[in-house]
Structure 1
Amino acid sequence: MTMLGRTAQNLFWLSRYVERAENMARLLEVGYRMSLTSRREGGASEHLMSMMQAAEVDEDFARKERPADVDTVAHFMMFDPDNPSSVYSCLQAARTNARSVRTAITSDMWGAINSAWLEFSQIKPRDVRGAKLMGLLEWVKNSSHQFRGALLGTILRDDGFAFLQAGSFIERADNTARILDMKYFVLLPQSEMVGSDLDTQQWSLILRAASAHRSYRHVYHDRYQPQNIADFLILRPEMPRSLIYCARFIEQNIETLGAFYGRKQVCDDVAGRLRAMVEGTTMDTIFAHGLHEFLTEFIAQNNDVANALAESYNFY
């Protein structure tokens, strides 16, 4: 029996919004920590703006006509209901989608997202500053982990699971590309910083944002080399937030849907092209082409997969 398009859509976006809430927390943590390391006048604001550019919310922020300081940006990224990618908006949307498909998810999954939303909605933004901001960012990540744990530990491995997983990894791939692009596109052109202690510290923050700090050192056993870090976050298949890992997992779940319903869809081919984009290249080729250009193309193709999946399974 074919799942209704509306149900498939709700499951897909439930998972995407939970992942996005976590990813917004990760991006804000990077922007915040980089702003603390800035030694140039205006540098803190630049780092915060680059973080919002990576999240593609800079234009929405600009319309607020507010200064790009830590408190204002943190409020915008965490609590602003006018920002569709704020943690507030993401958790609210995730809960709304979950409520619409209560019979298609487990009670543990519903409990995890409902509790996260209720707890977050009680937080007073004015109380979240400095160390409390970092604590809240960690709470958001942990809440995402709790939902993911409930998903992986309790739900049937059927078409609903495939839609949930496809949503999660499409969102994760998008975020990894944006985190990496944030560093290269905005910070690396300052040639006097390359190889400096500050540069090394910023690369460390990028890895921490992707939960890849310890695993990177385990694989490379060296200082932070930009090409190795890019390789780790793009082409290392054992790294669960790398682009190649996500692309393979996206394709796998879309193929599962095709097998479940007995026929391939347009989205199968689009997912295959995304996977081939990262499997059929090397870091030398990526750098020769331009890392920013590669990441921009990857984000666009990843979006194409999401759109093709929606069209193939009647989300609209």
Structure 2
Amino acid sequence: MLSRTADHLFWMSRYTERAENTARLLDVNYQTSLLPPTGADAQAGWRALLGINELMPAYVARHGDSIHASGVMDFMVRDEGNPCSLMSCLRNARENARAVRAALTTELWETHNQTWLEARRLLQEGQFERDPGAFFEWVKLRSHLSRGVSTGTMLQDEAFHFLRLGTFLERADNTARLVDVKFHAAAGHLAAAAGPGGVHDAQGLHGAQKDQDFYHWSAVLRSLSAFEVYRKVYRDVIRPERVAELLMLRADMPRSLLACLNEVIATLALVGGDPLSPTQRHAKKLRASLAYTRIDEIVAAGLHTFLAQFLDHVNALGAHISREFLLPSSA
């Protein structure tokens, strides 16, 4: 396969996955903003959302220093000058799909094209303002549809493998960013949970604080479609250290960091790369850092530090993939 074609397929799937994850983040912030937090708490939530993708300077340049729900929602949904906005991601996914229409099935191309056209129509007709939650759900469903159509209609050749490679690398990046921001904000509570009795012996907080924690952590779980999974796996009250364990270290949780790295490594083997290449070695070392550790060890060493390093390694892995598979050969 031409590296140019592989590059378009890789980024088509990355932008589709990024749109879905942005919709998840916005939806959970919107839903929690309907609860009765203080103004400072609400602003901190929107500020954290911008911090996930390091967008604070760009936001301030467009909307000033005031962080408020309407400004952040407009910036993260409509603003095509923001490369991480929903419309930017959907447009870029569609443009990458258009560039390699011959490598896609008709159904997959039409899915991406219709998603972009329908998203523009919904915004023009004011559907987003009337019901933001329904719009975010629509974006997530269109992403699910894209993956389902690719799996159900495409030949499982190199083109299909590069689609999956982009999907799971982007998912690992976005899950790590969400976990980092949400847990960094609650670092004091998580450290207390990892006290002398061990992380799984932590009892959490009581009274009003306990109720507030339940809504916070359940919102985090719902943002990654993990609330029902948590209940099935742990059958207990929601504890932050177990939320971290589920979203980072459970190989059977579809959006966890470990599950994403497992998929990336399996896909790299299918595209025919050298098992000893820098790309595969880097990916396997990154997976080992998740597969052979425990959440209490990560918390004791510093969860934020671990996730910051993980994100650096994911970016480096993306650079390795680009050098080995995606950039045109100099020969």
Task: Normalising by structure 2, report the TM-score.
Answer: 0.89
- Conserved 8 A contact 1:155-1:161: yes
Which residue number corresponds to residue 13 of structure 1?
11
Q: Which aligned pairs between 1:226-241 and structure 2 lie closer than 5 A?
A: 226-241=240-255
Residue 277 of structure 1, aligned match among 267, 284, 289: 289
One of 269, 284, 289 as aligned partner of 2:301:
289
What letter corresponds to residue 58 of structure 1 in structure 2? M
2:198: which partner in 1? none
The question of 1:88 aligning with 2:87 is answered: yes
Residue 30 of structure 1 deviates from its aligned partner by 2.0
The number of residues matched between the two structures is 312
Residues 63-78 of structure 1 aligned to structure 2 (within 5 Å): 63-66=61-64, 67-78=66-77
Is 1:304 the counterpart of 2:316? The answer is yes
Change (3 A) 1:126 1:156: closer
Say whether 1:243 aligns with 2:231: no
CA distance in 1, matches of 2:297, 2:240: 15
Partner of 1:52: 50
Structure 1 residue 129: Cα displacement:
5.5
Distance 1:48 1:128 in 2: 22
CA contact (8 A) 2:63 2:71 kept: no
Aligned pairs for 1:196-211 within 5 A:
196-211=210-225
Displacement of 1:314 = 3.8
Asked if the contact 1:75–1:125 (Cα under 8 Å) also holds between the matched residues in 2, the reply is no
Give runs of ≥4 in structure 1 deviating > 3 Å.
128-131, 187-195, 262-265
**Deviations along 1:289-308, whole A, 9 cap, x unmatched?**
11111111111111111110
Per-residue Cα deviation, 1:68-92 (whole angstroms, up to 9, x for no partner): 2211111111110110010100000
CA RMSD of aligned residues (A): 2.0
Cα separation, 1, equivalents of 2:188 and 2:214? 15
The corresponding residue for 1:255 is: 269
Deviations 1:183-232 (A, max 9, x none): 11124447999552111101000000000110110110011011111111
Q: Secondary structure at the match of 1:248?
A: helix
Match of 1:30 among 28, 31, 49: 28
Q: Are the counterparts in 2 of residues 255 and 264 from structure 1 also a CA contact under 8 Å?
A: no
Instruction: Encode CA deviations 1:233-264: one digit per residue, 9 max, x unaligned.
Output: 111111000110001111111111126xx775
Unaligned runs of 5+ in 1: none
Contact 2:79–2:87 under 8 Å retained in 1: yes
Offset of 1:38 from its aligned partner?
5.1
CA contact (8 A) 1:231 1:283 kept: yes
What TM-score do you get using the length of structure 1 for normalisation? 0.93
1-structure distance, mates of 2:129, 2:322 = 40
Alpha-carbon separation, structure 1, partners of 2:218 and 2:129:
20
Q: Is the 8 A contact 2:122 2:128 kept in 1?
A: no
AA aligned opposite 2:214: T
Distance 1:309 1:129 in 2: 37
CA 1:131–1:116: 2 relative to 1, 3 Å: same
Deviates more, 1:235-244 or 1:191-200: 191-200
Q: Quote the Cα distance in structure 2 between the aligned partners of 1:160 and 1:184.
A: 37
Provide the C-alpha distance between the structure 1 equivalents of 2:264 and 2:258, rounded to a whole number of angstroms.
10
Once residues 300 and 271 of structure 1 are traced to their aligned partners in structure 2, the CA distance between those partners, rounded to angstroms, is 12
Q: Percent same amino acid at aligned positions? A: 38
Look up the equivalent residue of 2:63 and give its one-letter code. Answer: E
